Amino acid sequence: MRTTPVKRAFKYRFHPTDAQAAELSRTFGCVRKVYNLALAARTEAWTRQERVNYNQTSAMLTAWKKKTEELAYLNDVSSVPLQQALRHLQTAFTHFFGKRAKYPRFKSRKKSRKSAEYTTSAFRFEDGRLTLAKMTDPLDIVWSRPLPEGASPSTVTVSQDAAGRWYVSLLCEDPSVQPLPATDAAVGVDVGLDHLLTLSTGEKVANPRHERRDRARLAKAQRQLARKARGEGANRRKARQKVAKVYARITDRRRDNLHKLTTRLVRENQTIVIEDLAVRNMVRNGKLARAISDAAWADFRSMLEYKAQWYGREVIAVDRWFPSSRLCSACGALQGRMPLHVRTWTCDCGTTHDRDVNAAKNILAAGLAVSVCGAGVRPQRSTPGGQSAMKQKPLRREP
């Protein structure tokens, strides 16, 4: 059993007053400014082969607020979101030096996410009413679902998306998230475009194609935006927001569908086996990029992994080069080239396979073998004669 409760972020819509919206907009701008100033200072030091850490940038922030008239407006907002911006920059550099991310980039006023993070010293949460620093009235939050009983937020993040919607995210400990009862069920999952998911049980989950369903509405909004004069005019801003609302609608529906699918898979199965796909490389295919992005395979895997961790399940990723589609799940024979338009095929052993169901079965078998033996599943490069063998590498127990 888990000893420490899981921390979850509960996200809600809220409707700020004009004064609150103005205060938050100023805070977003100050957060972006401090982040960019600190990044510039650290980059300049980096060119001199010097390191600047969080404590030094925090001292710089104090100096900027006290000694620089041009930055005196930083005193008008809460200092906590500014300090949190420096901590986020420190985290970005930690990931960079750990070779887990690229070098941090400057935040853009037009493209960067508008957000500010408040810790416990900068907000008050009493009786379901949240009041942020520098504000007198609580936020008008739409409580679409209750917080865990007795929950006390440790961090509050306020954000505004491109469609103009305001959100508040409350980070709380959720004692209700506990490992589910163990089960012997295991399933292999093959992701695709014709069907979003194909399970080793033979079930196929339809691909909703949310972007395609709203493509006409999106194209109309984008044409209207293209007709507006470039600049900061009110008409162009309204047209840009219409485009953002269509994108937001697509994203919300896609995320909702993925949450339902991943929650179901985690609740019903102890072990879930998937392919370790390089989605970032796959979207470079100009013909399939739009469809792959709409399917959101990377989001599916991310949700599946953190929910499995919450509920005591196991997710196994099989090597992306494992020939799951061309390997007969009945006799193990490997077929030759198999173009994407081939959806069914018959093996020499007489078994007729649905391409996707067969792949899901092979993914499951390979994943279970990996979990037992602790080995990898990789294809061989080629035979000495030059023909591609692409056979499953024998699994052996690691010493």
**Cα 270 from Cα 138, distance rounded (Å):** 43
Any catalytic annotation for residue 356? yes
Any catalytic annotation for residue 76? no
DSSP-derived secondary structure letter, 327: B
Contact 156, 130 (CB under 8 A): yes
Any catalytic annotation for residue 190? yes
**Cα 257 from Cα 183, distance rounded (Å):** 25
Residue 380 to residues 134, 282, 317, 373, 377, Cα–Cα distance (Å): 63, 22, 19, 19, 10
Contact 354, 371 (CB under 8 A): no
Contact 325, 357 (CB under 8 A): no
- Active-site residue among 23, 211, 275, 294? 275
DSSP-derived secondary structure letter, 186: E
99, β-bridge pairs: none
CA torsion, ordered 106, 108, 111, 114, to nearest 10 deg: 90
- Active-site residue among 23, 190, 211, 294? 190
Instruction: Give me 342's structure tokens.
Output: 């081939």
- Active-site residue among 23, 211, 294, 356? 356
Active site residues: 190, 275, 356
